[in-house]
Amino acid sequence: MSTATDTASRPVLTGAPRRTRSARSALHTVIGIVLVAIMLFPVYWMVNASLAPAGNSLNIQWLPLNPDFSGYSRAIADQGQNLITSLIVAVGACLLSIVIAAPCAYALAQFRIKGTAALLFLVLISQMIPGIVIANALYTVYTPLGLINSIPGLILADASQGIPFAILIMRAFLETFPTSIVEAARVDGCGHVRAFWSIVLPVSKNSLITAGIFSFLFAWSDFLMALTLTTGESIRPVTLGLYTYIGTNDTDWSAVMSTAVLSSLPAVILMIVAQKYVAAGATGGAVK
Amino acid sequence: MTTTQSAITAPAAGTPAPRRRRNTGDLLVRYAFVLPAVLYMIAFFGYPIIKNVVMSFQAYDFSTFFNGKAPFVGLDNYAATFSDPIFLRALGNTALFTVGSIAGQFVLGMALALYFRRRFPLSGFLRSLLLLPWLLPMIVSAAVWRWILEQDNGALNAFLTGIGLIDDPIPWLTSSDTALIAVIMVNIWLGIPFNVVLLYSGLQSIPEELYEAGQLDGATGWKSFWHITLPMLRPVVSVVLLLGVIYTIKVLDLIIGLTGGGPANATQTLATRSYEMSFVEFDFGQGAALSNILILIALAFSLVYLRANARAAKNG
């Protein structure tokens, strides 16, 4: 990430006096802040509305000068259970994605087994399959299997986004991992499984975290599988809860926006505490 | 939420010969590493795709779930789909939605990426904040924008009337004249971060010397953008645009959340129509037929993308 120090250490090419340059870069910062503020206005507006008093005909308050937290108490009363469901599903999908993807990524990167190129190709293509295609077919098999309205059903379905992503991102990392380390351990009689567990996994911690964060966020954000693979209120992720909330006619916007804020928390928290990993996943080696 | 792809270049041909002869047991262990993933992919990608193809030739509807009967009906589902005026509407909307979204995202994303390439205090921090809309659940964004675009109390109408640009509030999401435009607008907002991230990283890889040399030849501002930046960025640009198309044609959460495909099918796309057919009208046969059309379009762009990506990898 480039920072202010870059400006100072770079030779001044234009020959402009230092003061004008710093005034100009201050102006750049101001414009940059304005641009980001415009882009993030909807996020501000969500927080602002969540702090407004209840009611459909809200008068527009541009600043939450008199914050009212009743929206949050209604949101938690109505959606608390759904938030917990989302959390369980997202953690489950995250773990499942890692458990399935990590060994596969390692094998694809390091074992020269037959079919590697074909499997990679299929994993790439799978990310481009529209989710509705999966949902259509899953509904018809989930019904007889009793997986409709079930946490395991949602975990399995939601991992369909996490697994291909995790395979690709971890494989990209493991490609650069020196084979010699594992080879040495193998010569010492260490089996594939132990080499993977005690050598490969610890060194690929960063890519594991990135894969885990995104697998979690994919499942947390999932709406389509929740919409199609649940039918009642017993098991309802918060994304679907939010949707049915908006759908009610006399919409209580402060409770809706409070729910929206609560649903955004994992993304916001991860963006702050795990910025490095999020940035790594965002570029994801998309252009290599 | 959209994601980025990890680009893969096929492993180099002629892999190094195995150092020692592996016994069968060893080989089995190696295959065991990929087995769970392969089984998952078969169950959650392979099977659904085949099932969709089969269902699209069947009368697979509500009664099927009770009596288990889904008689084959040949091409009836496709015939019904193509003669359905809503399908044609959805096809047109999908094209408009995709082209409009991509154009907007790309132009604004490029502008922001170029702006943030300058070095100034906080630029890295501000750039990382830009990622936020991309990380939020799409249905959250839909809810927020529904509130912003609300006719009577929405922030956008309040702002536009406040500065005197419009006299009467615009029914953004409830009029069939403006709904598609509004949905595209929101999707542009959602897609900007993705474009900024990829274009910014592409811009970083253009050597500074090129601009310095260009400056000597009088290429500054627009000229340098046109003659240095764009040509150097071309492989990245094609990847960004193609990935954009692949993700945009399957967008469903946002439209369902904002308008539900309405009013009067004004924002109906292939993806939303496929959902509606299967899960609202319970005609899985026709829903599958629509899905298959969607898949064909997605795959066509995916193959073009993979080719462009391989080229980008070779040049980069």
Asked, for residue B5, whether it belongs to a domain, the answer is no
Co-location of B177 and B294 in the same domain: yes
Calculate how close chain B gets to A40, using CA atoms only, in Å.
7
Co-location of B27 and B164 in the same domain: no
CATH number at residue B114: 1.10.3720.10
Reported pTM: 0.88
Co-location of B223 and B283 in the same domain: yes
Asked, for residue B214, whether it belongs to a domain, the answer is yes
Asked, for residue B255, whether it belongs to a domain, the answer is yes
- A182-191 b/e with 16+ CB inside 10 Å = b? beebbeeebe
Q: How far apart are CA B206 and CA B21, in angstroms?
A: 46
Asked, for residue B3, whether it belongs to a domain, the answer is no
* Chain centroid offset of residue B136 CA: 15
Asked, for residue B1, whether it belongs to a domain, the answer is no
Name the CA radius of gyration of chain A, rounded: 24
Asked, for residue B171, whether it belongs to a domain, the answer is yes
* Chain centroid offset of residue B1 CA: 9
Is there a cis peptide before residue B85, judged by omega within 30 degrees of 0?
no
Contacts of B135 in chain A (CB under 8 A): 217, 267-268, 270-271, 278
Co-location of B60 and B85 in the same domain: no
At A52 the three-state DSSP class reads coil
CB distance A191–B51 less than 8 Å? no
177-236 of A, contacting B, C-beta below 8 A: 183, 191-193, 196, 214, 217-218, 220-224, 227-228
Q: How far apart are CA B300 and CA A2, in angstroms?
A: 38
Single-letter amino acid code for the residue at B235 = P
Q: What is the pLDDT along chain B (316 residues), one digit of tens a residue?
A: 444 444 444 444 444 444 455 577 788 888 899 999 999 999 999 999 999 999 999 998 888 888 888 889 989 999 999 999 999 999 999 999 999 999 999 999 999 999 998 888 888 889 888 889 989 999 999 999 999 998 888 889 989 998 989 888 999 999 999 999 999 999 999 999 999 999 998 998 888 888 888 888 887 788 888 888 888 898 889 889 988 998 899 899 999 999 998 899 999 999 999 999 999 999 999 999 999 999 999 989 888 888 887 877 776 5
Q: How far apart are CA B191 and CA B14, in angstroms?
A: 40
Co-location of B130 and B256 in the same domain: yes
**Residue B187 CB neighbour total at 10 angstroms:** 26
- CB neighbour class for B183 (10 Å; exposed up to 12, middle 13-18, buried from 19): buried
Which pair of structure tokens corresponds to residue A168?
A: 């690709």
Co-location of B55 and B86 in the same domain: no
Picking from A132, A215, A250 by the largest number of B CB atoms within 10 A of its own CB, the best residue to mutate is A132
CB distance A278–B135 less than 8 Å? yes
DSSP code at position B268: -
Number of structural domains (chain B) is 2
Nearest by CB to residue B4, choosing from A49, A137, A284, is A284
ipTM: 0.87
**Residue B68 CB neighbour total at 10 angstroms:** 8
**Residue A193 CB neighbour total at 10 angstroms:** 12
Backbone angles phi, psi at B222, to 5 degrees: -55, -40
Co-location of B150 and B61 in the same domain: no
Co-location of B84 and B51 in the same domain: no
Contacts of A108 in chain B (CB under 8 A): 34
226-285 of A, contacting B, C-beta below 8 A: 227-228, 239, 242-243, 245-246, 253, 256-257, 259-260, 263-264, 267-268, 270-271, 275, 278-279, 281-285
The topology under which CATH files domain A72-282 is MetI-like fold (1.10.3720)
CB distance A283–B201 less than 8 Å? yes
**Residue B283 forms beta bridges with which residues?**
B61
Asked, for residue B2, whether it belongs to a domain, the answer is no
Query: Which residue range forms the structural domain that includes residue B47?
Result: 14-67
